[in-house]
Amino acid sequence: MNKEILKSTFLFILLLLAQVLICNHIAIFNVAVPIIFIYFIIRLPIDVGKGLLFTLAFLMGFCVDMFSDTPGVNSLASTLLAALKRPVYYAYVQRDDKTMTLLPSISTLGVATYCKYLLSMVGIYCLLAFTIEYFNFADVKDIVILSASSCLLTFIMLLAIDCLIINKS
């Protein structure tokens, strides 16, 4: 258990630093922004207590907000994403499947299901974050373009991170 906590803490700090120091400065064609810190929320085991899940998600969002001067945008979006995590997960996975471990990954869910889960989560987050940040119906076109392109880029980057972790272990 301690090892898991240590690993999670390490992942938290690593993703936070990677987001604020590298990914925040990337904007391909000035629209596609990789949002990799949500990997932490996506990869937390499904059976983690809801209270802890919300707290961690909020903390992550809050830290990113602090660094990138977007007060409340990422904290709100990641707290909402944490709340939607279980419904999204069980939309693709049978709830009574007891043989399945509760850690969402390619090896436990299979490529197709995992990709669907990952894409849904990333898509939801991008849409939430950009809607909250712009908060103006006049910018709907911008929000859709930003969300779609960022979603695609983030999805690819998160799959790449998954591959890296699998190769390591």
Binding site for other proteins (CB under 8 A): 17, 20-21, 24-25, 27, 30, 33, 49-51, 54-55, 57-58, 61, 65-73, 75-76, 79-80, 83, 132-134, 139, 142
Minimum CB–partner distance for residue 50 and other proteins (Å): 4
Tokens 């889960």 map to which residue? 117
Residue 43 CB partners (closer than 8 Å, separation 6+) = 11, 103, 104, 105
Q: Residue 18: enclosing H or E segment and its boundaries?
A: none
Contact 126, 35 (CB under 8 A): yes
Residue number with CB closer to other proteins (45 or 71): 71
The CA distances from residue 109 to 4, 85, 101, 130, 151, in Å, are: 20, 15, 9, 29, 21
Residue number with CB closer to other proteins (92 or 134): 134
Minimum CB–partner distance for residue 161 and other proteins (Å): 20
Residue number with CB closer to other proteins (49 or 97): 49
What's the CA gap between 49 and 104, in Å, rounded?
Answer: 15
Minimum CB–partner distance for residue 95 and other proteins (Å): 19
Minimum CB–partner distance for residue 107 and other proteins (Å): 29
Backbone angles phi, psi at 108, to 5 degrees: -90, -30
Residue number with CB closer to other proteins (109 or 127): 127
